[in-house]
Structures are given as C-alpha cells and as structure tokens.
Amino acid sequence: MIPATPALAPEQSMFKFGGFGTLGVSHSSLNQGDYVVDSSMPKGVGRSNEWSIRNNTRVTAHAIANFTPQVSAMFQVDSEYRSDGSYRPEVEWLNVKYAFTPNIYMRVGRVPLPSFMDSENRDVGHSYVWVNPPVDVYRQLSIPSADGIDAVYRSEIGEAGNTVKAIYGTNTEKSSDSVSTSRDMWGIFDTFEYGFATFHVSYQQRRSSSQSLATGVSGAWSNYSDLSVGASYDPGNWFIISEWVQHRSSTKVDAMYFSGGYRLDKFTPYFLYSQNSAGSFLTDSPSLAAIDRANRSQSTTGMGLRWDFMRNYDFKIQYDLVKLSDNSNGYLINVPTGVTLYGSRFHVISAVVDFVF
C-alpha cells in the first residue's frame, strides 16, 4: 500500500508509521499435493497439512518520511511465509521519491511493479474483496518489485484521470529450489479512470536466469514479456472486475479472471472465476520434460463473503473449486513422483481477518 505524499504542513510530523496484515487459515480436500498461492512457497495446504496458515498470514509495517514537500522516502518490511520455510522479515519496498509537481514524480530504490490492477496492494488484504487475488492469474507474473527507478505522470481532464508509469530495474526472487535473477527489466503501465470505471494496461520485458540451489548450476538467459489488460466498474453498491494476461517466454500462456459482488451494509457476497491455459511452445521440438512443465493449466470457481465488522478490520470466508486440466497437475507442488492428478477437482476453504493500523 502506497499512501499519497501530501504537502508538508508546519504542524505535520516528518515521520509517519503504519502497517497492515492478514491472519488466516486454509484447507484443501486434496492430500496428494500442496495448494499454494505464491510460487516461492515450499509448502502449502493439502499434502503437507490438511489445515495451514501459510497461504494467508502476513504482517507488514512501513515508515514514511516527508523531508520536504518534494522529497520523501518509504521503508516497508514484510513478514510472511518464505521460500526457506520461515517467516523472517524482509525489506519489501525501500525508495526515495522526488515530486516535481503533485502529478509528476520519480522514485529510486525498490519500487512496486504494477503488473495488475491490484499489484501495488497485493499484500493489503483489506484493500480488496477476496481472500487472495485470483491465483490462476496473479501467479503468471509473480515478480512484485524492481530495484531501480520509476517515473509517474498523472493528468486530469474533467472526470477523467490518466496515470502513466515507466519502470526500469532488476529483480531477484527465491523459491524453495532455485534463485531467479531478472535484468534489463522495463515496463510501461497505464491506468485510466472515468467516473466509476477504471481501465489498466501494462507491458513489460526482462531477461531472466535461474540457478539451482541443489547443484549451483545456472540456466541460460531467456527473454520474457508480459501483457495485461484489466477493467473494473464500481458505483458503490456493487462491482465487477476482470483482467487478462499473456505471459511469453519459450511458451505462451494466457490467463484471465472475472469477479463481481454486491455490498449489503457491512456484508459483501462475491463470486470469482479464473483460469490459465497450458503453455503453447514458441520454439520447435520441445522435450517431453519441457512439455510436462508447460502443462500447468487449471481453473477456479469461487464464492465468498466479506464482513467489515469494525473500522479497519474485516473477516472473509471463501470457497474455491479448483479443476486441473486433463493433462496437468496445475500449480500444485509436492506431488509425489509418478503421481498424476490430471483432471482432478478439489476444494479449498479459506478464512482470514484483515487489518490496517
């Protein structure tokens, strides 16, 4: 979550502290693999544990320093389930911002990568209606930030507002068995708002290589590109939102979701459908192992209820029916060697409490 940086009034404190978090638990009916919401997690819910807090529990704290009306800095530390199985705190964002005008600014340091409509608030459960952003889509672009520089320009004409952001940098992400390094990352992101409607388009490229933690061997550098398009309409009492992404490397994968809900005082019932395709190869004669890795398609049909039971707190419960494609173990991890769960259906139940402080 990135709070706006207002002009520094004389009575304002230079420093502002805050944070947010989620305490949650989930259950999977499938005991032959682990359901995880992030690719870096070494364990999830299902095979490792019938019930687990790993997918849905995190606490984040941040400090914002407003040195002058033009210069500010942000430091954010996050504690959640890591690739090494711990909850050790890590620096999520750390950057310095210079505002040329209220609508034009640059940041240097670790900055969020706004691949999706909710990317910059991805860990702030209180900011969106679901328990988690749709897994089948958000896992396609799992890089959350860039170490580098971004520039933002916002313009407004009447009821319309448009925000353009450009980013350049690098990134290093750890999983349970490898470390992935991305270089020459760049992207253009545009968000257009008019009345109750919001539209978001992004395009980004990078070169990436992964090093095996077991062998220390690094793979070849490969080119990646990602295109995403999203739209939402939220007049207050109800909302609809949909996004589509295409991820290209040696394969091309498409993913999408559609969601909607209706607000009844403090209660918001909602539904969700998401899916991702199997990877279609962009190179000739892929190996059988490569074909097996690319076939990770699955779909999710979900419904849930959010209850804003007090200021800055909410309770959510969500049911998901996950269906694996006929030639895929989907994004399940820790599936026993030789086990194929192709075409399986299983249920995931999640309950969380989100808070902001």
pLDDT tens over the chain, length 357 residues: 444 444 444 566 899 999 999 999 999 999 999 999 998 899 999 999 999 999 999 999 999 999 999 999 999 999 999 998 999 999 999 999 999 999 999 999 999 999 999 888 888 999 999 999 999 999 888 788 999 999 999 999 999 999 999 999 999 988 878 899 999 999 999 999 999 999 999 999 999 999 988 888 998 999 999 999 999 999 999 999 999 999 998 889 999 999 999 999 999 999 999 999 987 877 765 655 566 666 789 999 999 999 999 999 999 999 999 999 998 899 999 999 989 999 999 999 999 999 999
- pLDDT, residue 101, reads 97
Residues 168 and 57: their CA atoms lie apart, in Å, by: 31
pLDDT of residue 290: 61
Instruction: Pick the closest to residue 5 from 75, 76, 87, 97 (CA basis).
Output: 97
Beta bridge partners of 173: 180
Nearest to 90 by CA among 99, 98, 101, 82: 82
Q: Which of 175, 186, 234, 248 is nearest to 210 (CA)?
A: 175
Paired sense of beta strands 45-46 and 104-112, if any: unpaired
What's the pLDDT at 121? 83
Q: What pLDDT is recorded for position 6?
A: 46
Spatial distance between the Cα atoms of 294 and 277, rounded to a whole number of angstroms:
10
> What ranges in the chain are assigned the alpha helix state H?
135-138, 288-294
User: In whole angstroms, what is the distance from residue 33 CA to residue 38 CA?
Assistant: 15
**Cβ-Cβ contacts under 8 Å for 213 (sequence gap 6 or more):** 177, 178, 179
Q: Tell me the β-bridge partners of 223.
A: 207
pLDDT at position 11 is 60
User: CATH homologous superfamily for 15-356?
Assistant: Porin (2.40.160.10)
